[in-house]
A and B are shown apart, each in its own frame.
Chain A
């Protein structure tokens, strides 16, 4: 059967645990959609070409650039943004707490992406030592250059998560 093409597509997915059904233009990126349509502005637009990482979100637990992902590619999937990291009562996640404890930011623009990337980095098992953290966090640029603090925060959060 030939494919049927559409300029408006119905998509069903979950954002931070909440079911969402929507109709989008197929060219709509996850980043633009979250910020402009859903009202979740945690994911930031930096380069809009996959180079800076500040739009990082988790898609089914895997970190991805929101600017390089179309909403139509996420049908049936779960998106986690920085707004979904803390508990409902506001208790920070171990990664958020570690970034605060270690001053893992200055201006804060890259921080939402750093937090999600760090959350995934730890879950993947790549937060084992400083070299590994620096390699596996290299997709998140910090122009304030808070890298030593970010690296320390990721390693501390990994200890907290893994009960070391």
Chain B
């Protein structure tokens, strides 16, 4: 880990000011950042510790919004009664992420900024193979190599990575807004638009709409409707593992039918992948596997799997159906 100079921010304003100077990393929990430092993914001259900023903490309801500060930890969110009751998909996603130890440090602000688990990307310096995220223009080793866990939507030949965050999938399904602040002042970014696929960004390095001199203040989740929610995570072991695919869903029932539904897939692209075509078609559909599966399948017809990950299309479809059934209270 390269040596760096350290300072504790005493306010969000000073942190923003310091970030604007460049060559700075903002440190919250540090569970992702310290590994970036070790691998050489980031090597800043200066680190600003924002972990002590109480103004970025807190979980509360304000009118018809659930507000979660950027420094709330995944365990705090996952076990908070208000989140469990009104944003159950998010609570479940937080508790299915990482381990109890990591969740005590990891913040929701940092979580959505984690980067892909692609093994080619996560190599130690000097990176021994092409990776357009690590060395722009060098190529994508995963596209030609091992990519079972990589994207089925939104990829390019320059990058086939997926965003691995669990909470981001739930936040996208719940139509959350990300509140950010930078030198130009505060602004809000819809979670559905926060992350970018390589195709959208046209640059494998740029993964979000967050500016380099901006920081996440918190999240706002609308909680106007009483709905059922679920987060289904498919992985190679039952706990403490990244998703192969995941799905977050919300369902409002009208008898045995769906009155309205939202569904987002995770680990299928470099952003959470909502299925708006399915959401439109799900209205009035009975809450049965036989009814839901073809609807989800049609909404995923634009999936383009890589040579080695065609199974993810089927697995993601099944995860979405299961999440919808669970959110609707059917099994």
A interface, CB within 8 angstroms of B: 1-7, 9, 25-27, 29, 48-50, 53, 56, 59, 62-65, 67-70, 72-73, 117, 120-121, 124, 126, 134-140
A65 touches B31 (CB 8 A): yes
Please, how many angstroms separate the alpha-carbon atoms of A6 and B34 in the complex?
18
Interchain nearest-CB distance for B295 vs A (Å): 32
Interchain nearest-CB distance for A23 vs B (Å): 12
A50 touches B102 (CB 8 A): yes
For B25-49 the 0/1 string (1 means CB < 8 A from A) is: 0010111001101100000001111
Q: Spot the interface stretch: B6-14, B210-218, B281-289.
A: B6-14
Please, how many angstroms separate the alpha-carbon atoms of A2 and B239 in the complex?
44
B34 touches A68 (CB 8 A): yes
Cβ–Cβ < 8 Å partners of B18 in chain A: 2-3
Cβ–Cβ < 8 Å partners of B37 in chain A: 27
A138 touches B239 (CB 8 A): yes
Cβ–Cβ < 8 Å partners of B29 in chain A: 68
B101 touches A70 (CB 8 A): no
- Give the residue among B48, B51, B240 with the most A Cβ atoms within 10 A: B240
Please, how many angstroms separate the alpha-carbon atoms of A56 and B102 in the complex?
10
B30 touches A27 (CB 8 A): no
- Give the residue among A1, A9, A49, A65 with the most B Cβ atoms within 10 A: A65
Q: Does B99 contact A (CB under 8 A)?
A: yes
B interface, CB within 8 angstroms of A: 1-10, 14, 17-18, 27, 29-31, 34-35, 37-38, 46-49, 51, 98-102, 104-105, 238-240
Return the contact of B49 from the options A7, A72, A117 (Cβ within 8 A). A72
Known: A3-B18, A138-B99. 9 other contacts (CB 8 A): A5-B5, A6-B6, A49-B35, A69-B105, A126-B100, A134-B239, A138-B239, A139-B100, A140-B99
Please, how many angstroms separate the alpha-carbon atoms of A56 and B99 in the complex?
11
A-B contact pairs, 29 of them (CB 8 A): A3-B8, A4-B7, A5-B6, A5-B46, A6-B5, A7-B4, A7-B6, A9-B6, A25-B3, A26-B6, A26-B47, A27-B2, A50-B101, A53-B99, A53-B101, A56-B101, A65-B31, A65-B105, A68-B29, A72-B6, A73-B27, A117-B100, A117-B101, A120-B100, A134-B239, A135-B239, A138-B99, A139-B99, A139-B240
Cβ–Cβ < 8 Å partners of A72 in chain B: 6, 49
